[in-house]
Amino acid sequence: MPETQSSSSVLFDEKLASLTLKNSVSILDAMRTIDQGAAQIALVTDENQKLIGIVTDGDLRRALLGGADLESPILPHVNHEFRKASAETSRIEALDLMKCYSIEQLPIVDSQGRLIGLHLLNDLIQPQQLPNAAVILAGGKGTRLGTLTQNVPKPMLKVVGRPILERIILHLIGGGIKKIFLSVNYLAEQIEDYFGNGDEYGCQISYLREDKPLGTGGPLALLQHHEITHPVIVMNGDLITDFDVPGIVGCHQKNSNQITIGVRTYSHTVPFGCITTDGQQVVSLNEKPTLQEIINTGIYVISKELLPQVPLDFFPITNLIELALDDGKRVGVFSVDQWIDVGQPKHLAEARGDTEHL
């Protein structure tokens, strides 16, 4: 889901005003504005706030080398052929435009051409910091993986040289999450020793310690001891995925969901010809059909208002979803593209690219 403008990537109000010049000012005024604004650009508007052009450091250097002095008017040196975006341009679209045209600033104008904002490349390529916390369920024994998890917790198994859990944490941080809870039980000390408090990753990591197995939902009851102010991302600790973190949070908020479930389409080809019958009569033949279902990826966003409903006991997270549906709460979905659940040996081999064991 494309996001529209957000304050983390767009300059508004006082900061934008400090970069704005009237078309009657001098080159010296433009130099001061660019220097003080620290954005390597000045935005030139008319008396109606309509953006008529931009001025960069390069424009000023060329003006001075061409014989202009500091008190010369800036207007002859303004670049009127500039790229711009509208208020509806998403962050991704803006970033694509700036990469395409090798520019680091992209003004935003309304339908009348009036200046309303400014995209800066350095801000766009930085993750948009989100106020949401994430809970990663990392307490299971991983019994389906047999001896692989005899001495190592399943989320700490390595894929291409890095533990699965570390990949998840880095992905969440890259998506703007700075507060992460790890639900731990089996061989918890290995996880805690490896990640510590999160300082090395530039985030805050806390631990939800399960005295007994609590399932996929029960660990959320341990959040009662922590301040939760926004919807929480909850996900299994055995996933290889690059889901859109801001996207699923934005979808949750936009649709006023109480729960949003990350989903994807799963296809299975039946290796036989199938027959549809009516009694003892054949109606149709379907040779090796492909069946499709929408599946739950084990990635969720859950509103904080639902957390008190979770008991401190073994509690599948699907029970919480069913309770929400029974109460008439909004439960939505968000599409997840790249996704592998490594809970079984063949799926772990797939994630590792080990074709011999698929």
- Residue ending a domain, among 102, 124, 146, is 124
**12 pLDDT above the threshold of 70:** no
Mean pLDDT of the chain: 88
The domain in which residue 247 lies consists of 133-357
pLDDT at 303: 98
**45 pLDDT above the threshold of 80:** yes
Q: Where are the alpha helices (DSSP H) in 26-138?
A: 27-37, 57-65, 91-101, 121-124
The answer to whether residue 79 is domain-embedded is yes
CB 205 within 8 A of CB 264: no
Pair 167, 308 in one domain: yes
Length of the chain: 358
Mean pLDDT of 207-234: 96
- Give strand ranges (E) for 226-272: 232-236, 239-241, 259-269
Pair 137, 117 in one domain: no
Mean pLDDT of 315-338: 96
Pair 256, 148 in one domain: yes
Pair 347, 206 in one domain: yes
- Residue ending a domain, among 74, 99, 124, is 124
SS3 159: strand
**137 pLDDT above the threshold of 70:** yes
Domain count, the chain: 2
Pair 53, 117 in one domain: yes
- Residue ending a domain, among 124, 154, 186, is 124
- Give the pLDDT band of residue 161 (cuts 50, 70, 90): confident
Pair 150, 115 in one domain: no
Burial class (CB in 10 A: 0-12, 13-18, 19+), 67: exposed
Check which CATH number belongs to the domain holding 204 and give it.
3.90.550.10
The answer to whether residue 238 is domain-embedded is yes
Lowest mean pLDDT, pick from 72-86, 220-234, 298-312, 335-349: 335-349
Task: Write out pLDDT tens, residues 177-190.
Answer: 999 999 999 999 99
The answer to whether residue 1 is domain-embedded is no
Pair 157, 77 in one domain: no
Mean pLDDT of 40-52: 91
Pair 19, 116 in one domain: yes
Portion of the chain with pLDDT greater than 90, in percent: 66
The answer to whether residue 3 is domain-embedded is no
- Nearest CA to 76 out of 94, 92, 62 is that of 62
Count the Cβ atoms, other than its own, within 10 Å of residue 123.
17
Strands 179-184 vs 204-209: parallel, antiparallel or unpaired: parallel
The answer to whether residue 4 is domain-embedded is no
pLDDT at 184: 97
At 353, give phi and psi (nearest 5°): 75, 25
Mean pLDDT of 68-78: 92
**356 pLDDT above the threshold of 70:** no
Compute CA 355 distance to the chain's CA centroid, rounded to the nearest angstrom: 30
Check which CATH number belongs to the domain holding 26 and give it.
3.10.580.10
- CA angle at 189 for the pair 162 and 242, rounded to the nearest 5°: 30
CB 135 within 8 A of CB 222: no
The answer to whether residue 5 is domain-embedded is no
Lowest mean pLDDT, pick from 127-141, 199-213, 286-300: 127-141
At 122, give phi and psi (nearest 5°): -60, -35
